[in-house]
Amino acid sequence: MSTFKENDDNLIDKLDYREEEEAINRDSKNEATSSFLESSEGIEACESFDDMGLSDDLLRGVYSYGFVKPSHIQQRAIKPLISGVDLIAQAQSGTGKTGTFSIGSLQRVDPNINKPQILVIVPTRELALQVTNVYKAIGEFLNLNIHTSIGGTRPQEEDRILRRGVHIVIGTPGRLYDILNRGVLDSSEIKTCILDEADEMLSSGFSEDIREIINLLPGKMQIALFSATMPEEALYITKKFMNEPKKIFVKRDELTLEGILQYYVDVGHSDYKFETICDLYDALNISQSVIFCSTIRRVEYLAEEMKKKDFTVSAIHGKMTQDERRNIMSQFRTGQIRFLIATDLVARGIDVQGVSIVVNYDLPNDREDYIHRIGRAGRFGRKGLAISLITERDANDLSELERFYNTQIEQLPANISSLI
């Protein structure tokens, strides 16, 4: 029997589904979602940003950001976004997903209308800040006001910013619902609502928040969903609020990233994990790495023990304050921290260029989180390495991951220094 279970430390507090959803017949649910399993016809690839109909100032921002040739998802999803159709897009971590919806939605903004026109909903504060940075960088020459709405900021200050006028709002569900419900955020001009990490938003307790937010938005608004994985239960819920969406999917066996080598180390017993990870980092010449643990207690323990061994390490998890987490991520991005130890809180929120290796100190409790974790290495086509430390108890779960993603995770070879 699988030991995969919901992780109590994962993201923020979960809300239960309503009783009516628990009562849905699973057979009819599967029938309703079967149409989602393949991409829509008529989705054409546009192999150059120059051919996408982008404004000169937006195109300047795209190239200034460092994009040269559109990735697979960018080739197929940017133009449908610009056209205003509803869209469900599945794209592997590290393939330019954020750039895709940033470019597509920025093209839709009218800078002369000083009201929110794009709303981006993400599951965590860290991801909200990261997405904001991408929007600001790509939209640098568009003269737009972009606002991040997350917990931990003073409501009075945020109210003043919104009343002065912004064009794009990026935030977490709880805070966005609050400013919409209080009427502080004027939704009358919103053209596009984007759900990033849509699987997390629609498959967990966020789903009720999302529906309440959408109920407060214009009925004819475009809705776009982006994620690396799209479970059937999440797709079923989209039928309640999306209008004949275009779909771009990848098969499950194509989800594991080509540029990431996946290995495991059989440590026998969990007591030997710490010694093993120290040996690994002694043998590998790496700039930065992320280590994922299943609990906050394990994160804190591992951070303290690695500090005793003089590793430049820091920990991050959901019980830290927003300022603490922001400072740690800032230090990690600037290279002051080489090793970041984290719960799955940040599995979807780390986009650091220098990360070349991810270590699963514990296997994820949720299979869907595996792809998000290993996607932290090898961003946008760069070579990366993912190593999972397993015990005898983990053997079945490792096999289940291989079956689920139709991939093979091999034992780490002796010549590990040559892998990266």
3-class DSSP string for 263-325: EEEEEECHHHHHHHHHHHHHHCCCCEEEEECCCHHHHHHHHHHHHHCCCCEEEECCCCCHHHH
Q: What are phi and psi of 127, to 5 degrees?
A: -70, -35
CATH 3.40.50.300 occupies which residues in the chain? Answer: 19-250, 254-418
Q: What are phi and psi of 312, to 5 degrees?
A: -80, 95
- 195 DSSP β-pair partners: 121, 225
Q: What are phi and psi of 205, to 5 degrees?
A: -70, -5
pLDDT of residue 23: 30
Residues 72, 97 contacting (CB under 8 angstroms): no
pLDDT of residue 251: 57
Query: What span, in angstroms and rounded, lies between the C-alpha atoms of 26 and 233?
Result: 10
pLDDT of residue 276: 93
pLDDT of residue 201: 80
Mean pLDDT of 133-140: 95
Confidence of residue 119 (pLDDT cuts 50, 70, 90): very high
Higher pLDDT, 325 or 256: 325
Percent of the chain beyond pLDDT 90?
44
pLDDT of residue 3: 34
Mean pLDDT of 59-64: 94
Mean pLDDT of 144-164: 90
Mean pLDDT of 228-232: 76
| This prediction's pTM | 0.64
Confidence of residue 133 (pLDDT cuts 50, 70, 90): very high
Most confidently predicted of 8-17, 194-203, 300-309: 300-309
Confidence of residue 49 (pLDDT cuts 50, 70, 90): very high
- Taking each helix axis as running N to C, give the angle between helix 72-83 and helix 97-106, from 0 to 180 degrees, rounded to the nearest 10: 30
pLDDT of residue 352: 65
Query: What span, in angstroms and rounded, lies between the C-alpha atoms of 65 and 351?
Result: 14
Confidence of residue 258 (pLDDT cuts 50, 70, 90): low
pLDDT of residue 347: 63
Which runs of consecutive H residues, i.e. helices, occur in 334-413?
367-374, 395-405
* Per-chain mean pLDDT for the chain: 82
Higher pLDDT, 410 or 323: 410
pLDDT at residue 52 tops 90: yes
Higher pLDDT, 325 or 61: 61
pLDDT of residue 186: 94
Owner of token pair 């109210």: 159
pLDDT digits (tens, 9 = 90+) for 72-115: 889 999 999 999 999 999 876 667 889 999 999 999 999 999 99
Name the residue among 44, 40, 105 with its Cα closest to residue 75: 44
- Least confident among 136-150, 197-211, 374-388, 401-415: 374-388
Confidence of residue 26 (pLDDT cuts 50, 70, 90): very low
pLDDT of residue 287: 77
**What is 254-418's CATH topology?**
Rossmann fold (3.40.50)
pLDDT digits (tens, 9 = 90+) for 318-376: 888 878 888 888 888 888 888 999 988 766 656 666 687 899 999 998 887 888 788 77
Residues 94, 380 contacting (CB under 8 angstroms): yes
**What is 19-250's CATH topology?**
Rossmann fold (3.40.50)
pLDDT of residue 5: 31
Query: What span, in angstroms and rounded, lies between the C-alpha atoms of 83 and 281?
Result: 48
Which runs of consecutive H residues, i.e. helices, occur in 216-272?
232-238
pLDDT of residue 83: 95
